C-alpha cells in the first residue's frame, strides 16, 4: 500500500481515534495502511499507557508483522476477513497462544504462556484482526474496580484519580484512550458495561451463549467494547461465530449485525427504569442524563413509560453467594504462599465462602431463579428497558468498590442472571466531566435489537465533550458501512 491519497497526512493521534469501520473504508480506498495505523497506535500506547495502565502485555513485534501481512492482502484487494488489519486488544482472562493469562493476580504471574487460543481469539485471527496485546483486570475478575495485585491501578482516562470500573478495566480504558478501536471484555455481573460507563464508550453484554468462550460458567459472557455502536456490531459478528468447545453456546446465527442497525425505534415500547429497589441511590445528575436520553427515544417515536422499582427486596446476597463460591474454588486451589499474593480484599472475600454449606448454596441457587423470573416479568410489557448503567460517578481509583456500596452493581447483574443482552453507551457527562452510561436491555436473544436502539440514540444524542487525549472530536457518526 505504498500509494496514498492526495489528501494531507493525518496526525498520528487522529489515526488512533478512527473507528474500525472507518479504518476498513480507508484500507479499501488505499488511503491508509494497516502498518501505518498499527505503528501510530503502538506509539500512542508507549506514550499514554504508562499514565492509565490499560495494557500489561504489548506484543508490538507480532502486531507489526500481522499488519504487514494485512497490508499485502489489501494491496492485492484480497482481505482475509471482515477485520483484516484492524487492531484489537483482549482482556487478561481471554487466552491468546504465546501470551500469559495471569487473570489479574500476582499469584499466577509465573504461569507459562498459553498454548492455544480461546474461541474469541481464534475467530479474530481468522478474520485478520491485529492483536496488540492484553488488557488489565482485577484478581480473578472478582470486583468491578481497576485494581489488581499484579497490574496495579488502572486509571480512568477522563480523570486519572477516578476508577476505570471493572473487571474489564484495561479494555475500557484502552478503547477510550485511543489504544485500539476494538477490545474484547467479559461480563458476569457488569464487567463489560461498568468500565464502558465509567470510560464513556460502548460495551455490549450479549445474550448468554451468543459468544462461545473457553470455560463456560453460569452468567459469564464475552463481548465487544468499542467507541461506536457500529464497531461493536461488527466485532460481535466475528466473535459470535461457532466453536464446539463451548457446550453452552447458542445455535450460530449467520447474520451481519450491521444489517438493519439504522431501522430506528418508532413504535417500540421502552420502559424507563431509574430505581432497581436496592443498592445505592442514583446520583441526581446521572438520573437527569438518563431521563434526557429517554426523551431522545421519545422524540424518535418510541413509547417511553416510567417503570416502578424492579425489586422490593435485595437479590444481591444470592448472586454474591454464587460468585463467591466460584471464586473460593479458584482461591482454594492455590498454595498458602500464593494465596498471600492475592489482592487482600478479594482474598478475604473468597475465604468467607470457605464454610458455605450445601443448604446455603442451594438456597442461593433457588433465589437466583426467583430473581431471574422477576426480571423477566418486570420487563414483559416492554420491548426494551433503559436505565443507568451505574448509579454513581466513577469513584476513587484505588478503591475496590464505592464507599457505602457493595461488590456488585444493582443495574447490571440481574440481567446476567436473566441472560438478556444489555449495552452501555455514553449519554452525557456530569458537572465533574465524568461519563454517564445509559444501559439498554433487550429480551433474550435480541442482541440485534439492542444494537439498533443504541445506534439510534448514538446518532441523535447531543454533542459530547472531547475524547481524552484528543483536541477535537465531531459527534457526527459515520454510516455503519
- The pLDDT tens digits for 397-419 are 999 999 887 667 899 999 999 99
Q: Exactly one of 148, 149, 164, 167 is catalytic; which is it?
A: 167
CA distance 210 to 214: 13
Residue 344 is given by DSSP the state H
The reply to whether 93 belongs to the active site is no
The reply to whether 191 belongs to the active site is yes
How are the residues of the chain apportioned to helix, strand and coil, as percentages rounded to the nearest 5? 35, 15, 50
Where along the chain do its domains lie?
A: 12-460
CA distance 127 to 129: 6
Say what angle helices 60-75 and 34-52 make with each other, to 10 degrees.
150
Low-confidence ranges of the chain (pLDDT < 50): 1-8, 469-481
Residue 111 is given by DSSP the state P
Continuous segment of H or E residues that includes residue 474: none
CA distance 424 to 362: 32
Model pLDDT, residue 476: 32
Region for 283 from its dihedrals, namely left if φ exceeds 0, alpha if ψ lies in -120 to 50, beta otherwise: beta
Q: Of 34, 165, 170, whose CA–CA distance to 94 is shortest? A: 170
Condensed to tens digits (0 to 9), the pLDDT of residues 195-236 reads 999 999 999 999 999 999 999 988 999 999 999 999 999 999
CA distance 213 to 93: 11
With contact defined as beta carbons under 8 Å apart, do 206 and 237 qualify? no
Q: Exactly one of 19, 33, 91, 418 is catalytic; which is it?
A: 91
Q: What are the beta bridge partners of residue 135? A: 55, 91
Selected from 1.10.3470.10, 1.20.1740.10, 3.90.1300.10, 3.40.50.300, the CATH number assigned to the domain covering 12-460 reads 3.90.1300.10
CA distance 168 to 226: 13
Model pLDDT, residue 470: 47
Q: Exactly one of 93, 191, 249, 424 is catalytic; which is it?
A: 191
Whole-Å CA distances, 60 to 27, 40, 48:
21, 11, 15
DSSP assignment string, 69-88: HHHHHHHTT--SSTTTT-EE
Count of C-beta atoms within a 10 Å radius of residue 366: 11
Residues 6+ positions from 453 with CB-CB distance below 8 Å: 265, 268, 270, 297, 384, 440, 442
- Report the b/e string of 202-214 with b at 16+ CB within 10 A: bbbbbbbbbbbbb
> Between the CA atoms of 127, 129, 131 and 137, what dihedral angle is there, to the nearest 10 degrees?
-80
CA distance 158 to 162: 8
Model pLDDT, residue 466: 60
Model pLDDT, residue 353: 83
Model pLDDT, residue 475: 34
Model pLDDT, residue 9: 54
Whole-Å CA distances, 276 to 33, 165, 279, 319, 320:
48, 20, 8, 15, 17
Q: Of 166, 260, 245, whose CA–CA distance to 209 is shortest? A: 245
Residue 191 is given by DSSP the state T
CA distance 125 to 53: 25
- The structure's pTM equals 0.95
Q: What are the beta bridge partners of residue 272? A: 306, 386
DSSP assignment string, 405-426: --SS-TTTHHHHHTT--EEEEE
With contact defined as beta carbons under 8 Å apart, do 268 and 386 qualify? no
Residues 6+ positions from 135 with CB-CB distance below 8 Å: 54, 55, 56, 89, 90, 91, 92, 168, 169, 170, 171, 173, 174, 183
The reply to whether 91 belongs to the active site is yes
How many residues comprise the chain? 481
With contact defined as beta carbons under 8 Å apart, do 41 and 132 qualify? yes
Amino acid at each position: 500500500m505504498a500509494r496514498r491519497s492526495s489528501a494531507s497526512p493525518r496526525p498520528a493521534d487522529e489515526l488512533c481515534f478512527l473507528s474500525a469501520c472507518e479504518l476498513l473504508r480507508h484500507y479499501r480506498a488505499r488511503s491508509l495502511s494497516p502498518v501505518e495505523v498499527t505503528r501510530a497506535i503502538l506509539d500512542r500506547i508507549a506514550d499514554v499507557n504508562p499514565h492509565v495502565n490499560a495494557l500489561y502485555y504489548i506484543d508490538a513485534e507480532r502486531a507489526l508483522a500481522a499488519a504487514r501481512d494485512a497490508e499485502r492482502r489489501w494491496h492485492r484487494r484480497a482481505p482475509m476477513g471482515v477485520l483484516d488489519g484492524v487492531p484489537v486488544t483482549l482482556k487478561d482472562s481471554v487466552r491468546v497462544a504465546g501470551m500469559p493469562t495471569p487473570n489479574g493476580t500476582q499469584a499466577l504471574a509465573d504461569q507459562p504462556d498459553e498454548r492455544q487460543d480461546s474461541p474469541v481469539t481464534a475467530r479474530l485471527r481468522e478474520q485478520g484482526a491485529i492483536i496488540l496485546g492484553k488488557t488489565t483486570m482485577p484478581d480473578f475478575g472478582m470486583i468491578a474496580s481497576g485494581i489488581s495485585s499484579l497490574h496495579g491501578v488502572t486509571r480512568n482516562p477522563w480523570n486519572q484519580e477516578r476508577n476505570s470500573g471493572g473487571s474489564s478495566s484495561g479494555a475500557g480504558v484502552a478503547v477510550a484512550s485511543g489504544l485500539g478501536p476494538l477490545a474484547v471484555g467479559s461480563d458476569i455481573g457488569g464487567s463489560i458495561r461498568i468500565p464502558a460507563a465509567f470510560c464513556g464508550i460502548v460495551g455490549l453484554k450479549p445474550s448468554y451463549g451468543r459468544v462461545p468462550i473457553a470455560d463456560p460458567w453460569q452468567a459469564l459472557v464475552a463481548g465487544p467494547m468499542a467507541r461506536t455502536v457500529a464497531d461493536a456490531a461488527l466485532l460481535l459478528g466475528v466473535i459470535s461465530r461457532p466453536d464446539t468447545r463451548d457446550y453452552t453456546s447458542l445455535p450460530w446465527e449467520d447474520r451481519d449485525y450491521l444489517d438493519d442497525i439504522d431501522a430506528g425505534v418508532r413504535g417500540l415500547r421502552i420502559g424507563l427504569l431509574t430505581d432497581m429497589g436496592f443498592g445505592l441511590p442514583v446520583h441526581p445528575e446521572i438520573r437527569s442524563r438518563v431521563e434526557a436520553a429517554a426523551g431522545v427515544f421519545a422524540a424518535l417515536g418510541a413509547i417511553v413509560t416510567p417503570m416502578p422499582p424492579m425489586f422490593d427486596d435485595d437479590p444481591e446476597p444470592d448472586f454474591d453467594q454464587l460468585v463467591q463460591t466460584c471464586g473460593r474454588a479458584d482461591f482454594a486451589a492455590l498454595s498458602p504462599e500464593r494465596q498471600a499474593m492475592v489482592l487482600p480484599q478479594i482474598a478475604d472475600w473468597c475465604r468467607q465462602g470457605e464454610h458455605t454449606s450445601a443448604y446455603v448454596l442451594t438456597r442461593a441457587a433457588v433465589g437466583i431463579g426467583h430473581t431471574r423470573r422477576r426480571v423477566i416479568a418486570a420487563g414483559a410489557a416492554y420491548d426494551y428497558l433503559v436505565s443507568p448503567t451505574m448509579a454513581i460517578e466513577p469513584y476513587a481509583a484505588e478503591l475496590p468498590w464505592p464507599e457505602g456500596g457493595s461488590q456488585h452493581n444493582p443495574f447490571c447483574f440481574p440481567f446476567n442472571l436473566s441472560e438478556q443482552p444489555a449495552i452501555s453507551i455514553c449519554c452525557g457527562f456530569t458537572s465533574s466531566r465524568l461519563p454517564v452510561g445509559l444501559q439498554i436491555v433487550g429480551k433474550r436473544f435480541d442482541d440485534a435489537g439492542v444494537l439498533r436502539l443504541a445506534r439510534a440514540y448514538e446518532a441523535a444524542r447531543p454533542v459530547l465533550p472531547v475524547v481524552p487525549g484528543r483536541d477535537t472530536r465531531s459527534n457526527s457518526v459515520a454510516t455503519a458501512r
